[in-house]
Structure 1
Amino acid sequence: MTRLLKKIPRYTTDEEIEKLKAAAQFNAQLMDMLRPHVQAGTTTEQLDQLAHEYTLDHGHTPACLGYHGYPNTICTSVNEIVCHGIPNDVALKDGDIVNVDITTIVDGWYGDQSETFMIGEVTPAAKRLVQTTFDAMFLGIRACKPGGPVSLIGRAIQSFAKENGYAVVREYQGHGIGQDFHQDPGIPHFPTPTSRRDLLKPGTCYTVEPMLNIGGWKTKVDKDDGWTVRTLDRSLSAQFEHTVLMTEDGPEILTLTQDGPQEGHVF
């Protein structure tokens, strides 16, 4: 039986690439706006409100708000929360780590990224986890070349995480992005049979967003809200994410911020 190859969207015209970059650059701008507010004493609800107002004031659309019923503009995942944390009225405090995940729609095109912030003085274990996750994202981004299999990304991330004693979350992954929020190809952060077949040809736009845990890789969704994902063993989790465009010359990161940590940064 012949296996049907999936149709992976590719964006190759100057207009398409310009729109992709505009969406990603606004998203990065939004992250930089939020950056100084991610501190002890600020609630994640306040961060959400700031992001919501800023996005609307610039004429754009919060992509997460109402997505499959999600109730807020951004996701804020604190400590053992892996992803999809719903903003609330609990203030951030010294020692917390919090992932801020933002996605916006600009003229019908999506930009998506996240960062894990350390609040005040965190433990050495938390700092090492954040650093390793940050480095793993860039290793994954740089691992794949034009036309190469998606699995190179997961192989690089899993190898680096294992080498440093961390587990890679398996239930959640990166994804194609462009004129849709989530599209092919899926970008798992460990090698899979499908990721060995899917190729990142020039024009493919996707996210790389590894989630690393100090403990095991298994997670559990909160039954009360249906969104919040925690580590099963309640160990700390960290995540970083960029939107990436594969070009003829290799991967180009579209969501680089002006004020945030750049590739090679040491926290």
Structure 2
Amino acid sequence: MIVKTDDELEKLKAIGRICADALKAMSEALRPGITTAELDLIGRRVLEGRGAQSAPEFCYQFPGATCISVNEEVAHGIPGPRVIQPGDLVNIDVSAVKDGFFSDTGASFAVPPVAAKTSRLVRDGKRALWIGLNQVKAGQPLAQIGQAIGAFASKNRYSLIQNLASHGIGRSLHEEPSELSTWPDPDEDRIMEDGLVFTIEPFLSLGGHFAEDGGGDDHWTLYSAPKALTVQFEHTIVATRNGPIVLTLAD
């Protein structure tokens, strides 16, 4: 989507804040003993209380309002009876729609006490996202986002999951430009247009390179291959000549 009017931008900002506030409420409730279903209900109440609808449910009939992935799970974890334990690494991904506009955000959290390497991974996952955001400017190549994140990952001896990409968003949850790499991609030759709406969501890992389903009856949850702890941080943004407008910041 290319933002054309102030009304479009305001509606994008509104749904972005709702998603951000749902993520914040869920993160503040995250503690040992809570189940992922209980966390999901907190997010659902924020979304629906503000007049929004879960995008995974609306678009894909996903069995939950949000995606919650724990430890060995990389993405698209189904909320359920799993109980959060001390030391768990938990990713929460919130996307929603209101008034015909979509937004998408996510973050990973380590439940204390955690190993030093896990704490560093969470810290550096946030850094990787902001390194990508700092590359955003209308007229610049999209490829420089993945190049910058890739350089950061390589320098700090991390890997990147290379089949979970960022994406265009706005009037639908996933739209053009599709498959925006958050890793170095020599085939990426597109340019950021003024007003372009898209996500940046690097998956920084301690050794994983791809995400795979686990087989069996659950065809939603994805796991890293090879298995390794992985974090994801995500914002929805608008590219402008002055840099990014980050839509998914909490009030």
Matched ranges for 1:80-159 at <5 A: 80-159=72-151
1:216 corresponds in structure 2 to 208
CA separation in 2, counterparts of 1:66 and 1:90? 24
1:32 corresponds in structure 2 to 24
Post-superposition offset of 1:93: 0.9
1:254 corresponds in structure 2 to 247
Give the letter aligned to residue 71 of structure 2: N
Post-superposition offset of 1:194: 4.3
Matched ranges for 1:146-225 at <5 A: 146-186=138-178, 187-195=180-188, 197-224=189-216, 225=218
Post-superposition offset of 1:233: 2.5
1:12 corresponds in structure 2 to 4
Q: Is the 8 A contact 1:175 1:206 kept in 2?
A: yes
Determine whether 1:239 maps to 2:211: no
CA separation in 2, counterparts of 1:31 and 1:203? 25
Q: Is the 8 A contact 2:208 2:227 kept in 1?
A: no
Q: Is the 8 A contact 1:93 1:120 kept in 2?
A: no
Q: Is the 8 A contact 2:143 2:184 kept in 1?
A: yes
1:52 corresponds in structure 2 to 44
Post-superposition offset of 1:68: 2.7
Q: Is the 8 A contact 1:74 1:101 kept in 2?
A: yes
Normalising by structure 1, we get a TM-score of 0.89
CA separation in 2, counterparts of 1:177 and 1:21? 13
Q: Is the 8 A contact 2:147 2:183 kept in 1?
A: yes
Matched ranges for 1:42-81 at <5 A: 42-65=34-57, 67-81=59-73
CA separation in 1, counterparts of 2:50 and 2:15? 12
Normalising by structure 2, we get a TM-score of 0.95
Post-superposition offset of 1:66: 5.0
CA separation in 2, counterparts of 1:189 and 1:156? 9
Gaps of 5+ in 2: none
Please give the secondary structure, in 2, of the residue aligned with 1:146: coil
Structure 1 vs Structure 2: percent identity of aligned residues?
33
The 1:184–1:193 alpha-carbon spacing in structure 2 relative to 1, beyond 3 Å, is farther
CA separation in 2, counterparts of 1:218 and 1:32? 28
Q: Is the 8 A contact 2:34 2:83 kept in 1?
A: yes
Please give the secondary structure, in 2, of the residue aligned with 1:234: coil
CA separation in 2, counterparts of 1:194 and 1:180? 25
Q: Is the 8 A contact 2:22 2:42 kept in 1?
A: no
User: Residues 43-86 of structure 1, C-alpha deviation per residue, up to 9 Å, x if partnerless?
Assistant: 11111112223322222211111533321110011112111111
Please give the secondary structure, in 2, of the residue aligned with 1:112: strand
Q: Is the 8 A contact 1:12 1:202 kept in 2?
A: no
Give the letter aligned to residue 126 of structure 1: T
2:220 corresponds in structure 1 to 227
Gaps of 5+ in 1: 1-8, 259-267
Please give the secondary structure, in 1, of the residue aligned with 2:147: helix
